[in-house]
Amino acid sequence: MKTLSPFSVKETNSFNVESIAPRAYFPKTIDDLVELANLSLSNFYILGEGFNTLFVKETTPIIIKPEFKGIEIQEHEHCTIVKAAASENWHSFVGFCIEKRINGLENLALIPGSVGAAPVQNIGAYGVELADYCQEVLWFDFKTKKTMVYKHVDCQFDYRESIFKNSLKNKGLIISVTFCFPKAWQANLSYAGLEHLAPSVSAKKVMDEVIKVRQAKLPDPHLLPNAGSFFKNPVIDGEQWEMLTAEYPDMPSYPQGDGKVKVAAGWLIEKTGLKGYQDKGVGVHEKQALVLVNYNAEQGKYIVDLAIHITNKVKSVFNIDLEPEVRMVFPQGEKNLVEYKNG
């Protein structure tokens, strides 16, 4: 198995910060994964393409960067089954499917990153989530040293959540993802920015439109390092929502059907006056308050400091806790903001 010691993550994280791992492993066969499991590593981080990862300090744990490639297609009467390996690029995979007239993922075009990371936070955009089409996930378990299949129901998909991000974190890794695309397809145009398209529009046209809107709205991480939405949209209870809308009638809100309401994290940040705020080489994007950008900081700790500043402000104005969507990696492994603040 390919191994590098030491390994700089600078080229493989979209915040473009420097951090050094003592070693990096690049498994690309099941034998490689067994070899890796035999090492019984206790502190490591599985890295896809690093578009949702913030390396916070000068050093980082051992990196495991899977290199599983390949796409297989199986035609059935009513659906097309497509299995994509973890290290395929997500956007290229979406383009590949649409080119072959396998429709369904067009709303998820241009989401940066790998196929293997997509189920971890159940990526979503423009009214569609990975969970809508994910049939199963092929997993390698480090303890049993065997592969196993997680069917859709076992994946515990939710808004930016899955079992892979929670109870299975660091217990193994995703080798491939299998999708089921029904042949009866209808464009999903429910989301703002797509409603002007005719219901008979092709999936290719929807994909092109999504790409156009995303390019206009979001800063390109290759030009201005960022990881997309830094925070999840918080879900609050109905009582708090009523109190807040009495004061802020223009607050964007999305009822969740269980009495709870999802509110827009970007709007909350903007209302605290932090849109465009900059300090120590990092800042809140001037057009998209949900996106934190690295202008010229060498290290991720300045982004974390900014994230804490933002969460404190939002808490004091709205009494809402913002939770990062971005994975934060410290020398001891992944930590969330609360764990970091508590030392």
φ, ψ of residue 7 to 5 degrees: the values are: -135, 125
For the bound state, the minimum distance from the C-beta of residue 23 to ligand FAD, rounded and expressed in Å, comes to 16
For the bound state, the minimum distance from the C-beta of residue 76 to ligand FAD, rounded and expressed in Å, comes to 26
Amino acid letter, residue 57: K
Identify whether the C-beta of residue 67 lies closer than 8 Å to the C-beta of residue 26.
yes
Sort strands 260-263 and 172-182 into parallel, antiparallel or unpaired. unpaired
What is the distance between the alpha carbons of residues 13 and 221, in angstroms, rounded to a whole number? 10
Give the sheet arrangement for strand 2-4, strand by strand. 2-4, 24-26, 62-64, 44-46
The residue ranges that bind ligand FAD (CB under 6 A) are 14, 45-53, 66, 86, 111-114, 116-118, 120-121, 123-125, 164, 173-174, 218, 221, 226-228, 327
Cβ-closest position to ligand FAD: 113
Active site (catalytic) residues: 160, 229, 325
Residue located via tokens 């605290």: 272
For the bound state, the minimum distance from the C-beta of residue 126 to ligand FAD, rounded and expressed in Å, comes to 8
Residue located via tokens 């994280």: 13
Within 10 angstroms of residue 222's Cβ, the number of other Cβ atoms is 9
Bridge partners for 45 per DSSP: 63
